[in-house]
A and B are shown apart, each in its own frame.
Chain A
Amino acid sequence: KNEVEQSPQNLTAQEGEFITINCSYSVGISALHWLQQHPGGGIVSLFMLSSGKKKHGRLIATINIQEKHSSLHITASHPRDSAVYICAVRGPWGGNKLVFGAGTILRVKS
């Protein structure tokens, strides 16, 4: 079993829909990251969370440490949101080592 599991693997939405991507992990963590990978391959960091909730524009990330679960929400989705969304966790092993989920491929249709 992977230490970081994401669901769904693939997601197709209509423009304007509310989107939720889930991440579950099996280890104790010091932080969780949500990353966005564009079709060209480049990756950008969206959020780093250790508790609670963060919001940036139409993106909201939440984490429940007790349940070892995080969600990424996109409100009023747009075709430009189409990308791969990756969850990564930083554990108690020290340093900056991240363990990555396999990613969720999101396609938003107009």
Chain B
Amino acid sequence: DGGITQSPKYLFRKEGQNVTLSCEQNLNHDAMYWYRQDPGQGLRLIYYSQIVNDFQKGDIAEGYSVSREKKESFPLTVTSAQKNPTAFYLCASSQRDLSQDTQYFGPGTRLTVL
């Protein structure tokens, strides 16, 4: 059963700590994306990766870091430099990073900073 998994579903973090959100896909997709969703706002792109070992900043990359060491995995680290990290984080993938490709979304991780 192909799809995207994100873990954990809920995550609590103390202020000042780094935390890593997991995203795994078994769709054999080259491109992967991380979005942030805040109440009343549209999804915003944090980082994206077109291919293994390569990634680019999105619109709101400050305070975040990513890696793409394997095709199926694209973890997101929320660092202590991110001033307002409480949000819902969504991972997505598409076959390639081309305009005709549909993006498939994971179930999301809700991060709360205490």
- Residues of A bordering B, CB below 8 Å: 2, 4, 9, 30-31, 35, 40-45, 48, 86, 88, 90, 94-103
Assembled-state Cα–Cα distance A43/B92 (Å)? 10
Assembled-state Cα–Cα distance A44/B100 (Å)? 16
Q: Are B42 and A42 in touch, CB under 8 angstroms? A: no
Q: Are B31 and A96 in touch, CB under 8 angstroms? A: yes
Assembled-state Cα–Cα distance A2/B98 (Å)? 24
A44 CB contacts on chain B under 8 angstroms:
105
Q: Are B107 and A99 in touch, CB under 8 angstroms? A: no
B contact residues, total (Cβ < 8 Å): 29
Tell me which of B42, B50, B100 has the highest count of chain A C-beta atoms within 10 A of its own C-beta: B42
Assembled-state Cα–Cα distance A44/B99 (Å)? 18
Q: Are A45 and B99 in touch, CB under 8 angstroms? A: no
**How far in angstroms is the closest Cβ of chain A from B37?**
8
A2 CB contacts on chain B under 8 angstroms:
42
- Given the known interface contacts A41-B88, A45-B104, the answer about A96 and B42 at a Cβ–Cβ threshold of 8 Å is no
Tell me which of A41, A42, A45 has the highest count of chain B C-beta atoms within 10 A of its own C-beta: A41
CB < 8 Å A-B pair total = 62
Tell me which of A2, A86, A103 has the highest count of chain B C-beta atoms within 10 A of its own C-beta: A103
**How far in angstroms is the closest Cβ of chain A from B49?**
11
Q: Are A4 and B104 in touch, CB under 8 angstroms? A: no
Q: Interface SS of chain B: helix, strand, loop or mixed?
A: loop
Q: Are B105 and A96 in touch, CB under 8 angstroms? A: no
Contact with A along B82-98 (1 / 0, CB 8 A): 00000010101010111
Partner pick for A42 among B31, B33, B108, CB 8 A cutoff = B108
B43 at interface (Cβ–Cβ under 8 A)?
yes
Q: Smallest CB-CB separation from B33: which chain A residue?
A: A96
Q: Are B105 and A42 in touch, CB under 8 angstroms? A: yes
